[in-house]
Structure 1
């Protein structure tokens, strides 16, 4: 028969004390007289009792586990963010408890139960849609939270974000420099701050150069491949002239590329194409995609470092950490042909 594991109750019975007293000895609480503590430690040695790290940490008021809440793991760049956080968390000797919102309200109910049960010491979050107020309440209630802010919400809690407006401006300056004057812009959802920032930075550069973006060529999308296809098809069907496309993420840029190819428009000859994110797929389209790179892995790393620094005594503040976007030029953009 397999050995029956020794429990804290076995130690308490052999030593003639309560389980609470054994727990206090294990955790060095100091409320136990030395003679009793010595007897408990002797029994622990005799029985070979090994307390679980989790039990000890819980008794000390922390778990050395970090929670991470994300909308879904199938988003193209999500793995990069999570990996960045994991690299830091594991290096610092913490565990990671990952939650997704794939099942909507039921997922959030399960997550809330884990919060109530104090299953983790702090939370990293890529905001699932509609949860920002809830996360802000958790933070206000004392749970350490760092938001990885991909939507430009400017939350009233610690956050790590990127330069969406500057990224839009980078795309615009590049297209202007290669002689593209009539861009089709495929945005994300209008309600997102990142959409407004990317469009604002892009439009400002064109307006300052005397070539304001045609409002008819600004099409609201939803960050999907299909919205890129639809936006290009709609512009072509409407007889709108454009010599460039700026898509607010690489997935919709890939859809735009497919629609342009299907319509017989060459990329980059007829139409230059710029995306946003620099997901791994962007380097493998045909032609490879010029894009604005978001430092997604670094955002995950930075958020995890802020949270762990807080556990080590550094106060969390609502001042965001901002990481810069950069332009990655590939084969989908070349100078416009001259006549």
Structure 2
């Protein structure tokens, strides 16, 4: 049978309350008594319930993290950044996904009600922002890792420069002489899609090469839509010498369709993505892309939450970590 706190108290000839105080470092205790209790704990190999200790301390030392799914390639980078910070500070992570829709959210809500974690990091599953905001208003510390650029500012967030990142892609294409880009967008309801469209289009317009409607294609951040977008453009006779995709997966799909159509990359068509997921460096040819600071965003969000636990107010404005630009052979032979 497992060793209990009652066993420790009986062997040390103290009360269970005294054992609890030793475990939690609370209250005035005679040092010889505390030493005797610690010796018995070591002798019996007693391991206290982390949940019980957390409740006694008023803190679980666990952070929750809610994400849509683990299938998106960039989520692992954000997650690793958060974990690096949490583990360094001896916090645990309780991870929730929305793979099963409403059932997943019910399970998540039960853990919120049980106060299983001290605060929450969120990569917003679509349609849950109002619920997350309600939890925050009710007192749950929340930091949003905002990949969609659509927050109202009510929830503290960490984001990046979608508009400027897309602008850097446009300037690069103009510098290498490409003036007729095809744009494969992200989901239109996402703020990041609007920001990337605006940042890219404004640079081309200022250079005297406005992007016409026939070269702006809807997308959904998948390889399949990247393939379909380029195929549709070729079949309809749209002339283009570059592709700017709103994420790397769409860019990879575009490259596949270009190869299938016999078009050389980058000689005939230069291709630029957005994210800089690990796969981007290993495509054929390697993909030029806007580097999102994914791991840094996870780190910053975790640090913000932990600082709040130590008394620092949550920020009332987004933390913005800028994008950078990574040039590879998909644009420069």
| Segments of 4+ moved more than 6 angstroms | 12-18, 37-44
Superposition pairs of residues 240-259 of structure 1, within 5 angstroms: 240-259=238-257
Aligned to 2:260: 262
3-state SS, counterpart of residue 319 of structure 1: coil
3-state SS, counterpart of residue 313 of structure 2: coil
Aligned to 2:79: 82
Residues 228 and 44 from structure 1, CA distance in 2 versus in 1: closer, same or farther, beyond 3 angstroms? closer
Query: How far off is 1:211 after superposition?
Result: 1.0
Aligned to 2:57: 60
Q: 2:235 aligns with which of 226, 237, 240?
A: 237
Query: How far off is 1:78 after superposition?
Result: 1.1
Please say if 1:273 is aligned against 2:287.
Answer: no
3-state SS, counterpart of residue 284 of structure 2: coil
Using structure 1 for the length normalisation, give the TM-score: 0.89
Query: How far off is 1:57 after superposition?
Result: 2.1
3-state SS, counterpart of residue 327 of structure 1: strand
Distance (Å, rounded) in 2 between the aligned partners of 1:44 and 1:171: 61
Using structure 2 for the length normalisation, give the TM-score: 0.91
3-state SS, counterpart of residue 320 of structure 2: strand
Query: How far off is 1:154 after superposition?
Result: 2.2
Which structure 1 segments of 5+ residues have no match?
none
Superposition pairs of residues 1-339 of structure 1, within 5 angstroms: 4-10=1-7, 23=20, 26-27=23-24, 30=27, 50=46, 52=48, 54=50, 55-155=52-152, 156-334=154-332
For residues 247-275 of structure 1, give each alpha carbon's deviation from its aligned partner in whole angstroms, at most 9, with x where no partner exists.
Answer: 00010101100111111111111111100
Distance (Å, rounded) in 1 between the aligned partners of 2:176 and 2:163: 21
Residues 6 and 38 from structure 1, CA distance in 2 versus in 1: closer, same or farther, beyond 3 angstroms? farther
| Contact 1:11–1:40 (8 Å) recurs in 2 | no
Task: Count how many residue pairs are aligned between Structure 1 and Structure 2.
Answer: 329
Which structure 2 segments of 5+ residues have no match?
none
Distance (Å, rounded) in 2 between the aligned partners of 1:300 and 1:130: 21
| Contact 2:5–2:48 (8 Å) recurs in 1 | no
Residues 256 and 40 from structure 1, CA distance in 2 versus in 1: closer, same or farther, beyond 3 angstroms? closer
Residues 119 and 263 from structure 1, CA distance in 2 versus in 1: closer, same or farther, beyond 3 angstroms? same
Distance (Å, rounded) in 2 between the aligned partners of 1:88 and 1:167: 26
| Contact 1:11–1:44 (8 Å) recurs in 2 | no
For residues 201-250 of structure 1, give each alpha carbon's deviation from its aligned partner in whole angstroms, at most 9, with x where no partner exists.
Answer: 00010111111101111011000000001100111111111111000001
Distance (Å, rounded) in 2 between the aligned partners of 1:94 and 1:278: 29
Distance (Å, rounded) in 1 between the aligned partners of 2:321 and 2:304: 14
| Contact 1:15–1:40 (8 Å) recurs in 2 | no
3-state SS, counterpart of residue 227 of structure 1: helix
After TM superposition, the structure 1 stretch with the greater mean CA deviation from structure 2, 49-58 or 142-151, is 49-58
| Contact 2:163–2:196 (8 Å) recurs in 1 | yes
Query: How far off is 1:318 after superposition?
Result: 2.6
3-state SS, counterpart of residue 123 of structure 1: strand
For residues 87-110 of structure 1, give each alpha carbon's deviation from its aligned partner in whole angstroms, at most 9, with x where no partner exists.
Answer: 111011111111111111111111
| Contact 2:266–2:331 (8 Å) recurs in 1 | yes
Distance (Å, rounded) in 1 between the aligned partners of 2:231 and 2:287: 20
Residues 113 and 18 from structure 1, CA distance in 2 versus in 1: closer, same or farther, beyond 3 angstroms? farther
